[in-house]
Amino acid sequence: MNMSEKPLRVGLAGLGTVGAGVVKLLDENAELVQRRASRPIVITAVSARDRSRDRGIDLGRFAWEDNAPDLAARDDVDAVVELIGGSDGPALATARATFNAGKGLVTANKAMLAHHGLDLSALAEKSGSALKFEAAVAGGIPVIKGLREGLAANRVDAVYGILNGTCNFILSAMEQDGKPFAEVLAEAQALGYAEADPTFDIDGIDAAHKLSILSALAFGTRLNFPAVSIAGIRNVSPTDIDYARALGYRIRLIGLAKMEAGGLFQRVHPCLVPLNHPLAHVTSSLNAVVAEGNYVGRLLFQGRGAGEGPTASAVVADLVDVARGEWGAPFAMPAASLTDAPPADPAQHVGRYYIRLTVVDRPGVLADVTAVLRDYEVSVESVIQRGGAPDGAVYFVLTTHAGPQRAVTDALDRLAALDSVTTPPVMMHILDL
């Protein structure tokens, strides 16, 4: 047997939904994977918290390690797949042990990469090992490979998209059924689209982890997760979804990264997406990422962003690259070449905005509102005034022309202090790319 025929022997850490999916995929597609990798890819050892749980797969053929980092030290393991999750703890210990052993790592762990990706990249380069993480962002959609390889010749001007399937499912269902957020969240949990504790998803943290990884790849910058401005979807109401529809938009949780004059702008917020933009038509639990290259133009990557099949597909695709010996710098260039871009001040970001005010129904209120907006130099593009607000109040909804965010937030602070404004103002960004 020559070297190209020797199997790539894999230690699998984590046997949840995705881990079981990796085992199933390698069983079902073994012959095809072998032909594409020019060698077999076989799991030799596994690790998980519970040996006794029935996962619907035969685990008796694999060696078992109770301590996941010990997989890296085994003589019958050439590469480790980390599917434990969490930014620190056993996942990080397994990653470091793998590089210290001079072996390749494939991971789906966006939290670990967002917090420790730079250090892990440097360790991988020092040991001459692979660090592959296609499954960490957008499940089975090859957006990491697309940015790192397909756009290698382009200056990327912006990368943005729908990065969390749970939020997209909830917003799509609210849009379709007119139900409030809490009710749709409960339904999503019952259907398995949302976790029992959905905080990371609905508060935008999961999407922000993924955005920070995409930013590093797109702009050649050091990962800076703390610099991401984050707001989730808890406060999106059916009222706002209805007004967005009337104005020609749909509301989506959008992660956006863009290099601006003041530095790198990174934001995860609910946005009004124009109906003529492809992201407005990404529904249910699908993910989509848009990259804008200066020579290639707009590229759209869309598909299933989570779940057993898509994520296992991305993991095994990375293993094929490891088996071929095909990998480069994890973030498209050596870690030392990544620049330390200053974070842009969100308050200085120029954009368009949706504003909803709930005001008492009496003469002069409209004049008071427009006077405040004039004072803060907020230019109004469109206005809708309708009844239907609680306690006989009316809704005053407007969109703005492009302007700095600080002018809008300062104006809203002043409006909130008016006795005619009965509830805190609602403000959302309008996607204008």
User: What are the backbone dihedrals phi and psi of residue 94, each rounded to the nearest 5 degrees, phi first?
Assistant: -65, -45
The four Cα atoms 201, 203, 208, 209 give a dihedral, to 10 degrees, of -50
Out of 110, 132, 145, 210, which one is annotated catalytic?
210
Q: Compute the Cα dihedral for 157, 228, 237, 171 and give only its sign.
A: positive
Q: Compute the Cα dihedral for 201, 205, 209, 215 and give only its sign.
A: positive
Query: What's the per-residue H, E or C state across the chain?
Result: CCHHHCCEEEEEECCCHHHHHHHHHHHHCHHHHHHHHCCCEEEEEEECCCCCCCCCCCCCCCEECCCHHHHHHCCCCCEEEECCCCCCHHHHHHHHHHHHCCCEEEECCHHHHHHHHHHHHHHHHHHCCCEECHHHCCCCCCHHHHHHHHCCCCCEEEEEEECCHHHHHHHHHHHHHCCCHHHHHHHHHHHCCCCCCCHHHHCCHHHHHHHHHHHHHHHCECCCHHHCEECCCCCCCHHHHHHHHHHCEEEEEEEEEEEECCEEEEEEEEEEEECCCHHHHCCCCEEEEEEEECCCEEEEEEEECCCHHHHHHHHHHHHHHHHHCCCCCCCCCCHHHCECCCECCHHHCEEEEEEEEEECCCCCHHHHHHHHHHHCCCCEEEEEEECCCHHHCEEEEEEECCEEHHHHHHHHHHHHCCCCECCCCEEEEECCC
Q: Compute the Cα dihedral for 272, 273, 274, 280 and give only its sign.
A: negative
Q: Is 145 a catalytic residue?
A: no
Residue that is written with structure tokens 């909804």 in the block: 397
**Burial tier of 3 (Cβ tally within 10 Å: 0-12, 13-18, 19+):** exposed
Q: Which two tokens stand for residue 114?
A: 């967002």
**Catalytic center residues:** 210
